[in-house]
């Protein structure tokens, strides 16, 4: 079993609200199709669909005002819209894909997953069905509601389903020695041991920012998976063939997080 | 708390695959908006979205062949498409609405609901959010997968959430003494006691047919709710104002099932 997280910055156009990156989505779905059949769960981020709405209504901060109720539902429905584009594309390609809506089977406490029904996801995946889920606005037992990041969800699914590998498809080539957008000599760290993570974590901070934490949040979440013995790979899903090779377990540019 | 079931024959055009009845959907959403805010859960049927696909692949019969896997996912995604139309219409009207996908939080055994997470639905409904769910292709513990009818789901939600009333919006005026499409003198039974149900059940059989049982299935399912002390109403959702009046508890033409 593998879990593939596709970053919102890869599958949407970041500066244009509610705009999918149709070319990237189509290409990534074709890469998944080329690796199919294989036991797999996909988790995708929100990009320009979920994040602007969630930010506008302060959903991540929890329930403080009645006007957020409509914002909560609009955030979720924006994510359903993005998810539908991906699921429909995979179904068109003949990959038996099912949408799983996090707000329907997950509850958080203070923003961390507390309840999750893994039996349905697991049963679907072993039947040869590809579950596609996403970061979402969810019910939170203490805050009323919260934003569940796709990164947190991907790690939880990987550990809960006993996945062997967790692949993060992002819009850069991996974790860098410095911010490559600022430092020309920055290079990708091919193999990053867990005990050196904390030193590097701040490096990634400026690479991408979103309401759920960007590269900092990703690497920080991923520690749990690494500690559980799962191989974690971070690579560039904006470049053709990277995800296909990663899914097949072939060597490809990126960062592998190690114990 | 009330549960409103909207029949697939009301919200879709039965003879045209994947065709919504936009006028009925818009009008019914406006009726819900006029009754809002009120603790409510909506369940809708599949009509020309879910049923043709489910039939084609024999999903209700369970998993017998690999080719059904794609059919299972296509049935679900057809229902997501119909659900999205309804949820988007309600959100446009300013009603905070959330889509709940049954295949994500329900498992059946031999076609009957065995596992259902009612906590999330309940928490959403009391927060002033309107959950909208539907009949769906779901994972079945014995058959592999199955079709969960919107009628069975509506009854389970009504009993599980302690609803006071369960409203079935169908395309006829209620339960008739005879089939009104064949017998001109057929009239609507206004009040139908449970002990007389069995005698009447066969009458409704020919009124509407779908893979989940039509009027026969509906009345048969509804017995559980009636026995739990829930007032069950069956009325014509194709006629303007019937559902609005029913939601407000006002007198309106239809059948009330009684203990």
Per-residue pLDDT at A159: 97
As a whole number of angstroms, the distance between CA B95 and CA B87 comes to: 9
Percent of chain B beyond pLDDT 70? 93
What is the third-level CATH fold of B2-258? Carbamate kinase (3.40.1160)
Partner residue facing B100 (CB), from A88, A99, A104: A104
Length of chain B: 259
pLDDT 10s digits, B166-200:
999 999 898 887 777 777 888 888 998 887 766 66
Under 8 Å between Cβ of B121 and B161? yes
Q: Where are the domains of chain A?
A: 2-258
Per-residue pLDDT at B210: 39
Partner residue facing B80 (CB), from A70, A99, A115: A99
User: Residue B88: how many CB atoms within 10 A of its CB?
Assistant: 17
Helices (H) and strands (E) in chain A, counts: 10, 12
Partner residue facing A101 (CB), from B96, B101, B128: B101
The mean pLDDT of B39-67, rounded to a whole number, is 91
Tell which residue, A179, A228, A227, has the closest CA to residue A204: A179
Under 8 Å between Cβ of B167 and B235? yes
Q: What is the pTM of this model?
A: 0.91
A119 to chain B: nearest residue by CA?
B107
Site from B94, B98, B144, B146 to mutate, A interface, most A CB atoms within 10 angstroms: B98
Q: What tens-digit pLDDT sequence spans chain A (259 residues)?
A: 999 999 999 999 988 999 999 999 999 999 999 999 999 999 999 999 988 888 899 988 888 888 899 999 999 999 999 999 999 999 999 999 999 999 999 999 999 999 999 999 999 988 899 999 999 999 999 999 999 999 999 999 999 999 999 999 999 898 887 777 777 888 888 998 887 766 665 554 444 433 445 677 788 889 999 999 999 999 999 999 999 999 999 999 999 998 8
Paired strand residues for B192: B257
């Amino acid at each position: 079993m593998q879990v593939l997280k596709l970053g919102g910055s890869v599958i949407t156009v970041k500066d244009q609200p509610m705009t999918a990156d149709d070319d990237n989505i189509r290409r990534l779905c074709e890469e998944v199709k080329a690796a199919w059949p294989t036991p797999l769960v996909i988790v995708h981020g929100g990009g320009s669909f979920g994040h602007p709405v969630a930010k506008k209504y302060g959903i991540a901060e929890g329930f403080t005002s009645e006007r957020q109720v409509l914002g909560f539902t609009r955030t979720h429905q924006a994510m359903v819209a993005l998810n539908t584009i991906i699921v429909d594309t995979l179904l068109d390609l003949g990959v038996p894909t099912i949408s799983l809506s996090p707000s329907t089977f997950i509850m958080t406490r203070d923003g961390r997953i507390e309840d999750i029904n893994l039996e349905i996801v697991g049963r679907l995946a072993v039947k040869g069905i590809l579950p596609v889920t996403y970061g979402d606005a969810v019910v939170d037992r203490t805050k009323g509601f919260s934003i569940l990041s796709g990164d947190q969800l991907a790690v939880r699914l990987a550990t809960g389903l006993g996945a062997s590998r967790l692949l993060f498809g992002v819009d850069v080539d991996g974790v860098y020695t410095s911010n490559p957008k600022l430092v020309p000599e920055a290079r990708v760290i091919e193999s990053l041991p867990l005990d050196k993570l904390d030193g590097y974590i701040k490096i990634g901070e400026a690479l991408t920012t979103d309401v759920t934490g960007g590269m900092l949040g990703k690497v920080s979440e991923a520690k749990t998976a690494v500690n559980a013995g799962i191989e974690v790979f971070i690579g560039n899903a904006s470049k053709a063939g990277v995800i296909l090779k990663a899914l097949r377990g072939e060597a490809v540019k990126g960062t592998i997080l190690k114990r």
